[in-house]
Chains A and B, each alone.
Chain A
Amino acid sequence: MAVEISAPPPRSLRGIAVPKIVIVSGRRVLSAILVIWGVVTMTFLLTRVFGGDPVNLFAQPTATAADRLAIRQRLGLADPIPVQYVNYLRDVIHGNLGTSYLTFRPVTSDLLDRVPATAELATYALIFGVAVGVTVGVLSAVFEGSIFDRAVRIFTSAGLALPQFWVALMLIVIFFSQLHVLPGPTGRMPIGMQPPPTVTGFYLLDSIITGHLSTFWPALRQLILPVLVLGYGVASPLARGARASMILALKADYVRTARALGLSRARTWFVYAFRNAMLPVITMFAGTVAWTFSGTVLIEGVFGWPGVGQYTLNALEKSDFPAIQGFVLYASILYVVVYQLLDIAYTFADPRIRS
């Protein structure tokens, strides 16, 4: 068990040999590239080899065989599969994810246009979820067996079992339809209201930067419910992980030693035990990030949020393969990158792994 150790790890970064970082990071980058190549190949196989013929989406019912061939050539689907594969790989490397069958625009720019909306939502949800999840988890470990601990257990169990889209609808019912304290699911702004001029794409930040403070409050109100739903989903597993990890840490020998040496209870808990307990939670966080970015698909649908999730839902409804492929690629690259970054961070945060 990696968590049971006898002394708190020194926090200084001295002693890291530079070549080690390069080797570890290099290996991570290589493995990340391999995984992404695998994802690209898999999406290609799924959509091109096993997928239906997208020509039917474009061709008139009266189209002749020649018409259909022309469409196929225009879409690059007339070539043999291996040729298509090489072309596809080349395009992906150049950041070209193809042209959406629906918007007739490059999928890359479609996605980029919508990333800020999703990123704003996911960022606040992650901040909220991590803050609440870790705090609540650590406290329920410290007060193990208390009423608070039991309440947390029920809330986190529910958080893991509840379908998020349903939680979202129920919150809309309570706070919009019944209590009228929060806005309805109309996206990032109330209907008819202009967003602040774009600087970062994050409405809250933009409203401050550009001085359009009148848009700050409405934008914030639109964010509350979706952030709450996503954040709840983030907080539930993290709270459980933090609790379990903290309980192990509190029982470790070094905590007893620290107490015996006369250090205060609060100091042993929140400095010694907490630091060690958080290492495994960093790992869970990586999974949470990926989960949040794909969880937004349904939540964006419910709240009319104009992000990549809603784009994907539309694409799905209309069999817009390039768009779906593009989104899957975007999500898995995000996942792999976040995962490898955290893995490297983790390696160098924990001296036992580092040495």
Chain B
Amino acid sequence: MTTSLDQAVETIAPKPSLSGGAAAVLGAIRSFRSSSGTLPIGLSLLAFLVLMSLVSLIWTPYPPTATGAGAFSSAPSAAHWFGTDAVGSDIFSRTISAGRTDVFYTVIAVAIALVIGSAWGALAGFFGGWLEAVTLRLLEVVQAFPSLLMALLIISVLGPGTLNVILVVAIIPIPDFVRLARAEVLTKKTWQFAEAARMVGNRPLVVLFKHLMPNSWRPLLAYASISAAWVCGNIAALGFIGVGIQPDAVEWGSMIARGESDVVAGAWWEALFPGLGVLVLAIGFQLVGDGIAARNRGEQR
């Protein structure tokens, strides 16, 4: 039984000579996790976050950016459900408002990576030749950068800022999408429907993007969701380091950074709640990704 996701996983696996064993393991990890309930649970978690973000547009107990909404660094209470931070801002208001930033940027970044990576990989797989050769070499080099380091390097060059952060966290997963899309197209371009699409006189690009790619969106989407879990972690990490969207932005990572020194002194609520936000978002995306992958396998069986 070889499904397209198995093949996809195989291509994501680290190095050619090792990919057999690693692919088997990765495939097995996926399949053992894929109990049927993951998709609904994941979707509910994401829906919950989106709902909170929407609510924060029209209502928050206190303005999220207001300082001195309460006492400085006060513990959770009836007036401030999640407590207040070092400048007296209400952490509940900030946490739900920050969801807007983190969820939105994660989705945008993953969408950019998905579109660019898939198109690139599909073209490389479809046309082969020098494009494919250069792509494979490039992927090998990029793989030698641990991803967070690459983010740090690029951000140190571009400087902080909203757009740069999105770009950087979008660049990191692109190689994976390139590999995945290339593998998808490589296996499917010899299938009969592709043959048929070519025979009736469609131009190559039409065959690729109108006939081949629509048949490959499931594994790509599954991977997009799984990589979103990493992307939101990276956004938070950049915010935490202080090279994120902007210092003191209403963003989970930056909130944790602002609370860091107080947390060490015992004000746990300043880091706990924004961290839970990242956690729920990451787990939500992971479960959705697993769910789509499981469904995909189920239908192909």
Contacts and interface: CB of A to CB of B under 8 A. Distances in A.
Are A and B part of the same complex?
yes
Q: What are the 4 tightest A-B residue pairs by CB atom distance, in nearest-first order?
A: A38-B141, A2-B20, A244-B28, A294-B146
Interface in A1-58: 1-3, 31, 35-36, 38-39, 42-43, 46-47, 50-52
A212 B14 CA distance: 44
B46 interface: no
A47 B157 contact: yes
Contact of A165 (B18, B137, B140, B237): B237
B40 interface: no
Interface string A152-196: 010001101111011001101100111000001100000000000
B18 A343 contact: yes
Q: Which of B21, B32, B236, B279 has the most CB of A within 10 A?
A: B21
A46 B153 contact: yes
Given A158-B283, A166-B278, 7 more contacts: A38-B140, A42-B145, A169-B260, A241-B29, A245-B25, A294-B149, A336-B144
Contacts of A158: 279, 283
A173 B268 contact: yes
A284 to B, nearest CB: 7
Nearest to A177: B266
A346 B15 CA distance: 12
B152 A312 contact: yes
B34 interface: no
Contacts of B14: 283, 286-287, 339
Nearest to B269: A173
Interface stretch (A84-92, A214-222, A321-329): A321-329
Interface stretch (B52-60, B121-129, B239-247): B239-247
A: interface residue count bin: 35 or more
Contacts of A243: 32
B141 A244 contact: no
Nearest to B15: A343
Contacts of B84: none
A293 B264 CA distance: 24
A328 B142 CA distance: 12
A106 interface: no
B282 interface: yes
B242 A35 contact: no
B283 A161 contact: yes
Contacts of A343: 15, 17-18
A353 B154 CA distance: 38
A245 B146 contact: no
Interface in B22-80: 22, 24-26, 28-29, 32-33
Given A52-B159, A286-B14, A170 B24 contact: no
Interface in A277-335: 279-281, 283-284, 286-287, 290-291, 293-295, 297-298, 301-302, 312-313, 315-317, 319, 321, 324-325, 327-328, 331-332, 335
Contact of A248 (B28, B33, B150, B153): B28
Interface of B: 13-15, 17-18, 20-22, 24-26, 28-29, 32-33, 137-138, 140-142, 144-150, 152-159, 229, 233, 236-237, 240-243, 253, 256, 260, 263-266, 268, 271-272, 275, 278-279, 282-283, 286
A158 B243 CA distance: 26
Interface in A189-216: none
Contacts of A38: 137-138, 140-141, 144
B272 A170 contact: yes
B165 to A, nearest CB: 14
Nearest to B148: A294
Given A35-B141, A170-B268, A353-B17, A331 B149 contact: yes
A347 interface: yes
A294 B234 CA distance: 13
A324 B278 contact: no
A324 B237 contact: no
B153 A324 contact: yes
30 contacts: A1-B24, A50-B157, A50-B158, A51-B156, A157-B283, A157-B286, A161-B279, A161-B286, A163-B253, A165-B237, A166-B236, A169-B275, A170-B271, A170-B275, A240-B29, A241-B29, A243-B32, A244-B26, A247-B32, A248-B28, A280-B18, A281-B25, A283-B15, A284-B22, A284-B25, A298-B237, A328-B149, A339-B144, A343-B15, A343-B17
Contacts of B154: 46
Contact of B157 (A46, A169, A240, A280): A46
Contacts of B141: 35, 38-39, 42
